[in-house]
Amino acid sequence: MTETLTPALDQLATPLLWLEDSGRVRDCNAAFCTWLSLGKRRLQGMDIDQLDHEAPRLRELCRQCRQPEDRILAHRLQLSFGGQQEHFADAIVVREADGWRVEWHPRAEFDGADPALALPAALSLALKGLAHELRNPLAGLKGAAQLLHKKTGDQPQAQALVKLIENEVVRLTQLIDQFMTPAPPKAHTALNIHSVLETVRQLADAEAGWSVKLERDYDPSLPDVLGDADRLTQAVLNLVRNALQSGASAVSLRSRAEHHVQIADTLSKLALRIEIADNGRGVPEDLHEQIFLPLVSGRAEGTGLGLPLALQIAREHRGSLSFRSRPGHTVFTLLLPVPEVTP
């Protein structure tokens, strides 16, 4: 039987894992269990290849640490269990007398150069010209919506759709005003992320019609986050529209809690993980490193502005935006940190 962890190690916020010479899990601290959402009893005795999404990568790293106190730093390891959610982290593997100690530093899925830095200039060139052209059609839409509102007074379902159109016209008009005369960003307030997701789902449902199945998988226990509801709606809507334009027949909106995750240079004890998954064509492999750059698009008719804008909004909320993609399965992940409550 293994020795019980000291309270100091078990209470450490950094996930820690101990492996036997055989490659089986000997022990782990509470932070590791929380990070993977797995109980310690389930983990103890498990072969590490069952957790290593890129098996036998971690086992090979351990084999390279042969002498006591040898250590290896490995970047962007990927763990998952039983086909569940993937977890990404940098890891420090240290050789000990009877196995290895692995220290995990969770991080976002996709890191690279900061393409959002190129966005303001591109937006200035591309969107200010468009803003002038969009004002008149939006005014016409607003008038038509008001007329429809009067004519559908006895039809609740139609009224709800008209209200959705009116709200979207107002939001787009405000967005155009921001492009034309930039104003200081709105103060972030507490909001329920599911109200944002539901607004996006309704807009996408009205846009896609019966051709696309929109699914939702929400964790109702998630706490509020601090943010700008309009900006977050824009970001998530861009991601969903990107999925619709990829030829997807099914799009899923999913929310979960993420514990002890690295977002940029900050370790967040708790973050909201919003996933937009689709079964479309996927992001072309040659664009994986450039997809967040302004004016880069996998479609001939694409503007290449939706994803960079979504990334910028994520950064405004101290969050991150990443993706993984193959034909038939693409997932964009938005991470939003939950502020710690001070006693």
Report how far residue 29's alpha carbon sits from residue 242's, in angstroms, rounded to the nearest whole number: 40
Around Cβ 310, how many Cβ atoms within 10 Å? 26
Pair 249, 230: CB distance under 8 Å? no
pLDDT 10s digits, 115-139: 555 555 555 555 555 665 666 677 7
Using alpha carbons, select from 277, 281, 251 the residue that is nearest to residue 332: 277
Report the pLDDT value the prediction gives residue 293, as an integer from 0 to 100: 77
Q: 115-337 — its CATH code?
A: 3.30.565.10
**Mean pLDDT of the 22-33 span:** 91
Amino acid at 2: T
Distance CA 14, CA 162 (A): 50
Confidence grade of residue 251 (pLDDT, cut at 50, 70, 90): very high
Q: How many Å apart are CA 88 and CA 108, to the nearest integer? A: 7
Residue 3: pLDDT band with limits 50, 70, 90: low
Query: What are the extents of the domains in the chain?
Result: 7-106, 115-337
- Render pLDDT for 142-188 as a digit per residue (tens, 0 to 9): 777 777 777 777 787 777 887 888 888 777 777 766 655 555 667 88
Angle (CA) 259 260 266, round 5°: 130
Per-residue confidence band for 227, with pLDDT thresholds at 50, 70 and 90: very high
Q: Which of 87-91, 262-266, 284-288 has the lowest mean pLDDT?
A: 262-266
Per-chain mean pLDDT for the chain? 81
Domain covering 7-106 assigned CATH 3.30.450.20 in the classification: yes
Percent of the chain with pLDDT over 90: 30
Could you tell me what percent of the chain has a pLDDT over 70? 82
Question: Distance (Å, rounded) from C-alpha 23 to C-alpha 132?
Answer: 63
pLDDT of residue 1: 37
Q: When comparing pLDDT for 17 and 211, which is higher?
A: 17
